[in-house]
A and B are shown apart, each in its own frame.
Chain A
Amino acid sequence: MPGTHLTRFAVPRLMAEAIEPTDSASKIALLERRLARAEAARAAAEHLLEQKSRVLAAANSELTARKDSLSTSLERRTRQLLDAQRVAGFGTMLWDIRSRHLELSPQVQVMIGLEPGSAVRTYRTLVRSLLREDRRRMLQWMHHELLAGLKNDRCDRCGTNADQRVDVTCAETLREYRIEVRCLGGPPGGQDGDNVRSLCVMAQFQVDSQCRPAMIFVTVQDITRQVRADNEAAALRARELQRLADLERLNEALLVAREQADLANEAKSRFLAMMSHDIRTPLNGVIGMLDLFDESTLTTEQKRTLTLVRSSGDQLRVLLNDIIDLARAEAGKLALNPGPTNLIGVLTDGADFWRHLANDKNLSLDIVLAPDMPTWIEADSVRLRQLIDNMLSNAIKYTHEGGVMLKTRVLPQGRLRVEVVDTGIGIPAHRRTELFTDFSQLNLLGSEPGGAGLGLAICQRIIAVMDGQLGVDDAGRGSCFWFEIPVTTIPEPKRVAHPIVLSFAGLDGRVPRVLVAEDLATNRIVVEGCLRKLGCEVSVVEDGQQALIAIESGNVYDLVLMDMAMPVMDGPEATRRIRALPGPHATLPIIALTAFTRPEELAPMMAAGANGSVAKPIVIEDLYRVMAGALALPDVGAIAH
């Protein structure tokens, strides 16, 4: 090292003489001043150093406090992070790209079945913890995807690739690499298969200050539950799909079965309809012919026989009607035909009708009507009467001494209770449910077998349609059959007094001319007899075509009674053709005369243009009422009613 670069200077002589000390005292004084300055400088330096030391000590304390605070904060945050990882079921790894050193968080170590704090330094240790079948996949992912991405991927931002290094990883740091693998880990002691954990591994590059890839930051999430839930959901879906398929097959089978049942039911309905038609037809003949007897010419014995025959015919008709009603009810086609109904009249008429039977058995038949009972209600009087008839006839049938009482009671909310109490043989409580079973008759001690056992079953169906209830109670001695129905009270309809004369003769001074088309001879005789009784002029033909010819040939008729089922040309076809004729024929009243009583069976006739229908066997009152309506005679409703 060169020496000190000192350039010496000289002071002018006069100045030097004035400055430089010459004597000892001056020299000592100069030395003392220099010493004093040096002392002062030293003291000042010490003072400054002390100050700086104090400042440094204070700074050191503050730094220590801050360091402690930061350490505490760091420790707390680290603990929070580790707790968060444990609770959330994920952990982290940091992989140094240059040193290949691997740092695992404790949670990752737990996940892969290691003790927390185990030394895992390379990724190979990690890979070995995976299930054998996943190891190759993991290595391929690391080498072909992760590291290949590091080397080859082009940066989206600067456009350079990794070979050029500069800023290439700016896009890499944003990209996430993802793989799902399985390992044996988790809580020890689980059942076989329980320790298989599913892990979701996601990696992201981290760069150093020169923007070069330095670390790979990896998160590992335990997705075992999710995977199991997904698997279970998939299995459940598969089971549901299988169940759905089974149900669809079952549904198809049920549809087929239902179709077959419908067909069978339809066949049964058709059978019932045909049977009722076929039975009604000869019955019509029997009863109708009986009506034609001129009783004035018969002996007493003949009259008695005739009465018995009529009674048997009536029973047969009731039974037939019951069967048809039951068939209707089963088909859900039991409909009500409500209208103004004299409730007291229906009850008293019913009682009066059965009184002679009670009298024959020496039974009393009493009526006790509630004083607040309405007289006129809106109801189906025929069905109501059917209920009364069934209950009264049963009561009389099963009572041998004492009597029968018909009672009514008005209940709250516009309901009416009707009771038929008898002093008959009674019905044990445990057998009462059998009462309402179709074709069921209780063979009780002292009972007289008879009937088809349909009465109460039909009553129950009628009551159901009326939205009411039907039951039987113990009456102490005998039984109490009752029903409750909702009733709507109405004012009394205007009544017009007319003589009830079941004859058209003389009503308007002219005899109605009626054409009857009926293929069966017996029926023709019955119908003709009924019409003549009603005072009509009758022409008879055997089928629809003959009826059409009779009309076309210029004969004038006031009304046609047309059977439905006839050879050559049936009733609906003949009706259609008559309606198609010119002139007044188109409006000629045509009444269907048929044993078909179901609405759908009558439909073809009504659709062809018929004005109404009369059921066979013919009840002469019904015939009169329908004809009067079709002929538009005044007040026929009142007369017929």
Chain B
Amino acid sequence: MKGVIIAELVRWIEQAFSPAVADAVITRSKVPGDGVYTTVGNYPHTDALALMGALAEISGQPVPELADAYGFWLASRFMELYPEMFEGYTDAVTFLRDVDGQHHREVTKLYPDARTPSIVVVIDGEELTVSYGSHRPLADIAHGLVRGYIAYYGDDLEVVRDPGAPGPHAARVLVRAPARLTPDRLSAV
């Protein structure tokens, strides 16, 4: 897992809770390296799961809810950290369509050993379906990211998590926007 996901997770805990909670989560999770993460490194995704689990125990909040909130926040961090990724995009749908084809390809260019998740965007009538698939059980973070991008572009879209998607390795997010997703718009997509 890229270090940016897990380093930003520690940063998010410090901001959403407190530095002391982050310190306690690191201690409780017993992650190797005592929670020292850098964005340019690679770490086992089990570290993120251990930290998220420790945080749930300390905060009393369920993991999916915490992960979704983290994903939502992470979207805004990506925009701060990698503004060039978002250049030229004016709406979330177009950006999401290009995530797998272009952005993950750029990631792979920089980090040949990175195993990026697959993002498939399908437009069916008035619904936009974003399907996420990964060997890591981080579907909730992906859901939060989708929400974060939509919120960033200010699109008037409704985001629904498809309850039929199995397990934490996959998620299907339905994006509904009858008012905005006109046929013209869809064909442009």
- Judge if B73 is at the interface, Cβ distance under 8 Å: yes
How many Å lie between the Cα of A15 and that of B7 in the bound state? 24
- Judge if A11 is at the interface, Cβ distance under 8 Å: yes
Q: Which of B12-20, B44-52, B118-126, B170-178 contacts A (4 or more CB under 8 A)?
A: B12-20
Residue of B nearest to A37 (CB): B36
Are A7 and B16 CB-contacts (below 8 A) given A40-B36, A41-B37, A48-B38? Answer: yes
1-59 of chain A: CB within 8 A of chain B: 1-12, 15, 19-21, 30, 33-34, 37, 40-42, 44-45, 48-49, 52
Q: Which of B56-64, B96-104, B179-187 contacts A (4 or more CB under 8 A)?
A: B56-64
- Among B12, B18, B41: residue with most chain A CB under 10 A: B18
Q: What per-residue 1/0 map shows which CB atoms of B6-30 lie under 8 Å from chain A?
A: 0100001001111111011010000
Residue B16 contacts which of A9, A34, A44 (CB distance < 8 angstroms)?
A9
Residue of B nearest to A44 (CB): B38
- Judge if B79 is at the interface, Cβ distance under 8 Å: yes
State how many angstroms separate the Cβ of B159 from the closest Cβ of chain A.
Answer: 13
Q: Which of B131-139, B147-155, B161-169 contacts A (4 or more CB under 8 A)?
A: B147-155
How many Å lie between the Cα of A40 and that of B154 in the bound state? 39
- Among B38, B61, B152: residue with most chain A CB under 10 A: B38
- Judge if B128 is at the interface, Cβ distance under 8 Å: no
User: B90: which A residues are within 8 A, CB to CB?
Assistant: none
User: A19: which B residues are within 8 A, CB to CB?
Assistant: 18, 20-21, 23-24, 58
Q: Is the CB of A41 within 8 A of B79?
A: no
User: B39: which A residues are within 8 A, CB to CB?
Assistant: 45
Are A15 and B58 CB-contacts (below 8 A) given A7-B73, A9-B17? Answer: yes
User: A44: which B residues are within 8 A, CB to CB?
Assistant: 36, 38, 41
Residue A2 contacts which of B7, B41, B60, B154 (CB distance < 8 angstroms)?
B154
How many Å lie between the Cα of A10 and that of B20 in the bound state? 12
Q: Is the CB of A41 within 8 A of B7?
A: yes
Q: Is the CB of B76 within 8 A of A5?
A: yes
User: A37: which B residues are within 8 A, CB to CB?
Assistant: 26, 34-36
User: A45: which B residues are within 8 A, CB to CB?
Assistant: 38-41
How many Å lie between the Cα of A3 and that of B58 in the bound state? 27
User: A15: which B residues are within 8 A, CB to CB?
Assistant: 58-60
State how many angstroms separate the Cβ of B7 from the closest Cβ of chain A.
Answer: 7
How many Å lie between the Cα of A11 and that of B20 in the bound state? 11
Q: Is the CB of A5 within 8 A of B75?
A: yes
Q: What per-residue 1/0 map shows which CB atoms of A74-104 lie under 8 Å from chain B?
A: 0000000000000000000000000000000
State how many angstroms separate the Cβ of A444 from the closest Cβ of chain B.
Answer: 124
How many Å lie between the Cα of A456 and that of B76 in the bound state? 139
Q: Is the CB of B16 within 8 A of A8?
A: yes
Q: Is the CB of B59 within 8 A of A9?
A: yes
Residue of A nearest to B60 (CB): A12
Residue B41 contacts which of A7, A33, A48 (CB distance < 8 angstroms)?
A48
User: B72: which A residues are within 8 A, CB to CB?
Assistant: 5, 7
- Judge if B157 is at the interface, Cβ distance under 8 Å: no
Q: Is the CB of A41 within 8 A of B154?
A: no
Q: Is the CB of A20 within 8 A of B36?
A: no
User: A34: which B residues are within 8 A, CB to CB?
Assistant: 19, 23
State how many angstroms separate the Cβ of B84 from the closest Cβ of chain A.
Answer: 14
How many Å lie between the Cα of A7 and that of B20 in the bound state? 17
88-129 of chain A: CB within 8 A of chain B: none
Residue B20 contacts which of A9, A21, A49, A52 (CB distance < 8 angstroms)?
A21
Are A30 and B20 CB-contacts (below 8 A) given A2-B151, A2-B154? Answer: yes
Are A6 and B73 CB-contacts (below 8 A) given A20-B20, A34-B23? Answer: yes
Q: Is the CB of B7 within 8 A of A4?
A: no
Residue of A nearest to B7 (CB): A41
Residue B73 contacts which of A1, A4, A30 (CB distance < 8 angstroms)?
A4
Residue B59 contacts which of A4, A11, A49, A52 (CB distance < 8 angstroms)?
A11
How many Å lie between the Cα of A4 and that of B81 in the bound state? 12
User: B7: which A residues are within 8 A, CB to CB?
Assistant: 41
Q: Is the CB of A6 within 8 A of B15?
A: yes
Are A49 and B40 CB-contacts (below 8 A) given A7-B73, A12-B60? Answer: yes
Q: Is the CB of B34 within 8 A of A11?
A: no
Are A11 and B23 CB-contacts (below 8 A) given A1-B152, A5-B148, A42-B38? Answer: no
Q: Is the CB of B151 within 8 A of A5?
A: yes
User: A4: which B residues are within 8 A, CB to CB?
Assistant: 73, 76-77, 80
Residue A48 contacts which of B17, B36, B40 (CB distance < 8 angstroms)?
B40
State how many angstroms separate the Cβ of A83 from the closest Cβ of chain B.
Answer: 41
Residue A11 contacts which of B17, B41, B79 (CB distance < 8 angstroms)?
B17
User: B73: which A residues are within 8 A, CB to CB?
Assistant: 4-7
Are A33 and B59 CB-contacts (below 8 A) given A2-B151, A7-B69, A9-B17? Answer: no
Q: Is the CB of B21 within 8 A of A11?
A: yes
Q: Is the CB of A1 within 8 A of B38?
A: no
How many Å lie between the Cα of A5 and that of B8 in the bound state? 13
How many Å lie between the Cα of A3 and that of B61 in the bound state? 24
How many Å lie between the Cα of A8 and that of B16 in the bound state? 4
State how many angstroms separate the Cβ of A17 from the closest Cβ of chain B.
Answer: 11
Residue of A nearest to B80 (CB): A4
State how many angstroms separate the Cβ of B59 from the closest Cβ of chain A.
Answer: 5
Residue of B nearest to A45 (CB): B38
Q: Is the CB of A11 within 8 A of B58?
A: yes
User: B15: which A residues are within 8 A, CB to CB?
Assistant: 6
Residue of A nearest to B154 (CB): A2
- Among A9, A15, A40, A52: residue with most chain B CB under 10 A: A9
User: B151: which A residues are within 8 A, CB to CB?
Assistant: 2, 5
How many Å lie between the Cα of A2 and that of B23 in the bound state? 29
How many Å lie between the Cα of A9 and that of B34 in the bound state? 23
Q: Is the CB of B58 within 8 A of A30?
A: no
Residue of A nearest to B152 (CB): A2
User: A40: which B residues are within 8 A, CB to CB?
Assistant: 33-34, 36
How many Å lie between the Cα of A150 and that of B77 in the bound state? 54
How many Å lie between the Cα of A12 and that of B57 in the bound state? 10
State how many angstroms separate the Cβ of A23 from the closest Cβ of chain B.
Answer: 13
User: A21: which B residues are within 8 A, CB to CB?
Assistant: 20
Other than the given A1-B152, A41-B38, A44-B36, 18 more pairs (CB < 8 A) read A2-B152, A4-B73, A4-B76, A5-B72, A5-B73, A5-B151, A6-B15, A7-B16, A7-B72, A9-B59, A9-B61, A11-B60, A19-B21, A34-B19, A42-B38, A44-B41, A48-B38, A48-B40
Binding site for B on A (CB under 8 A): 1-12, 15, 19-21, 30, 33-34, 37, 40-42, 44-45, 48-49, 52
* 26 A–B contacts from the bound complex (CB under 8 Å): A1-B79, A2-B76, A2-B152, A4-B77, A5-B75, A5-B76, A5-B151, A5-B152, A6-B12, A6-B73, A7-B16, A7-B72, A8-B16, A9-B66, A10-B59, A11-B59, A12-B60, A15-B60, A20-B18, A30-B23, A40-B36, A41-B36, A42-B38, A45-B40, A48-B41, A52-B40
User: Which 7 residue pairs spanning A and B have beta carbons closest together?
Assistant: A45-B38, A40-B36, A19-B24, A41-B38, A7-B69, A5-B76, A20-B20
